[in-house]
Chains A and B, each alone.
Chain A
C-alpha cells in the first residue's frame, strides 16, 4: 500500500531550518529519518517544502483569476513537507510516522494514496 505522510511544522521549527544554532540538529534528524526509510526500502518519494509564506495560491471564481500570496489556509502548523512510502498496512505506516521528527513538535498525517491510472 502506498501512503503519503503530510508533515505539519510550526513556525519555530521552520525557522530553525536556517537558524545558526538549531539548523544542524534539525537537518541531521531529518537526514537520519530519511536514511532509515531508504535503508528499509519503503520510501518512494517526497520533499521538504519552503515555508508557506513563500507560496502563492490561485483560484478561479466565476471565470476570474484570484491570486494570493501565501498558503491556502493560514494556520499555526503548516505543511512543511511530504513523503510517499510503501508499506504493507496502516499500522506499519503509523510506526514510521511516530519516528518522524515532526511528530514531537508538529503533526504527521498519514493518508492512503489513490493510484491514478
Chain B
C-alpha cells in the first residue's frame, strides 16, 4: 500500500470515528431507516478509500461522506419504487447535504435524537445498548455480542428487529417533551451504563465484570453530557464510570492476581481521571437534581480520600450515601454494597444482618452477595458457614483471577480450621 493510500485510510478512519454517528443520525432522523443509513454510509466509506488516495482528501470529509451516502440512499429507494415518500425526503436531504459541502459547515448534530430513539420504550430493553453502540459508534454486531455474552446470531436478530420497529412504527425522532424527559433520559443513561459492564465484583464498590466496552461507554456518557448539559444524572454517570475506570490498573498485579479495592496500591490509580470525575460531580451538584448515578459516583469518590494525606476512608458518610441510594433505587447491588459499608462502619455483625435482610430469591446467582457474605462470616469466626458461602461465591465468579483469589481465601480458612 502506498503512503498516499495509507494516509487516506487513516483519514477515513478518523473521519469514521468522528462522523459515523453524526451521519447515521442525520440520515436516519430524516428517513426513519437506520439500517439503510448504516449501509449507505459504509459504502460511502469504501468509496472514500478508493477515491481519496487518487484525488486527495476533500476539504470537508464529513460532508463528502454524507453526500456519497445520500446518493446511495437515493439509488436504493429508486430500486424500491414503493417508497416514493422516502424519495422526496431524500431529494430535500440531498440539497441540504450539498449546502453543507459547499459551505464547509458541519452537518447538524442529531445524535441526541438518535440516543433517545435507541432507548425508546418501544425498543426491546436488551437491544437498546447494542443499538447505540452500533448506530452511534459503528461497532459491529459480533463485537457487541461478545461483550454482552449473547450469541452473535441472536444479537444480529435483535438489532434488525429494533431497526425494523423504528422504520415500520415510525417512532418519532424527537427530543422528548419536558414532561417525559426524566424517564426517557433514565433509559438513555441506563443503556449507556450497560455498555460499561454490570456486576459488583468488588465487595466495597462498583467494579465492572469485564473490560467490555468501557471506553465506548465513557465516550457515550461524555457525548450525553455535551448534548444535554443540564442533565445532572448524565454528569453523575460520567463521573461514576471515570472513577471505576481510574482504578483499572490497580485491580490486578503484573502477574494477573486479583487485588481487592481495600488492598489496591493507590499510586496506580489514574489521578487525571479522578480529577475529571470530580469535575463532573461538581457539574452535577450545581444542577441540584439528585439521582442514583450521582450517589453511586459520590460513594466511589469517597475512596479517593486514600490519595490524600490522611488516607482514611469516611465509612460513616459512605453508609449515609448508600442509605440514600437504597432509598432511591433498592437494587441487589446497592443493598450488598450498603451491607459491606455497614460492616466497616458498625461492625461485621451489622453488615451480616443487612445481608440477611435481602430475600434469598435475589441472591441465588448474585456473586458479590456471596463474596461479601463469606468475608463477613469468616471475620466473625463462623467458619463452617463461611466455607459454604465461599463455595457459592467461587461457583458464581466469572473472572478467573477473582475466582482464584476467593479460592485462596477459602483454602486458608479451611486450613486454619484444621490446625
User: Which residues of A approach B to under 8 Å, CB–CB?
Assistant: 24-25, 28-29, 31-37, 39-41, 90-91, 94-95, 98-99, 101, 103-104
Contact = CB atoms under 8 A, between A and B. Distances in A.
B154 A95 contact: no
Interface in B264-281: none
Given A28-B407, A31-B391, A35-B392, A91 B149 contact: yes
Contact of A29 (B150, B398, B407): B407
A25 B365 CA distance: 22
A98 B396 contact: no
Given A39-B392, A91-B154, A94-B149, A99 B397 contact: yes
B276 to A, nearest CB: 31
- Main secondary structure on chain B at its contact with chain A? helix
26 contacts: A25-B404, A28-B411, A31-B391, A31-B395, A32-B391, A32-B393, A32-B407, A33-B395, A35-B391, A35-B392, A36-B365, A36-B396, A40-B364, A40-B365, A90-B150, A91-B126, A91-B149, A91-B150, A94-B149, A95-B149, A98-B149, A98-B398, A99-B395, A99-B398, A103-B398, A104-B400
B150 A94 contact: yes
Q: How large is the interface on B (under 10, 10 to 19, 20 to 34, 35 or more residues)?
A: 20 to 34
A31 B403 CA distance: 13
Contact of B396 (A25, A90, A99, A103): A99
A102 B364 CA distance: 21
B410 interface: yes
Contacts of A101: 400, 403
Nearest to A28: B407
Most buried by B among A24, A40, A99, A104: A99
Given A32-B407, A99-B397, A103-B398, 20 more contacts: A24-B411, A25-B407, A28-B394, A28-B407, A29-B407, A31-B391, A32-B393, A32-B394, A33-B394, A35-B391, A36-B394, A39-B364, A40-B365, A90-B150, A91-B126, A91-B150, A91-B154, A94-B149, A98-B149, A98-B398
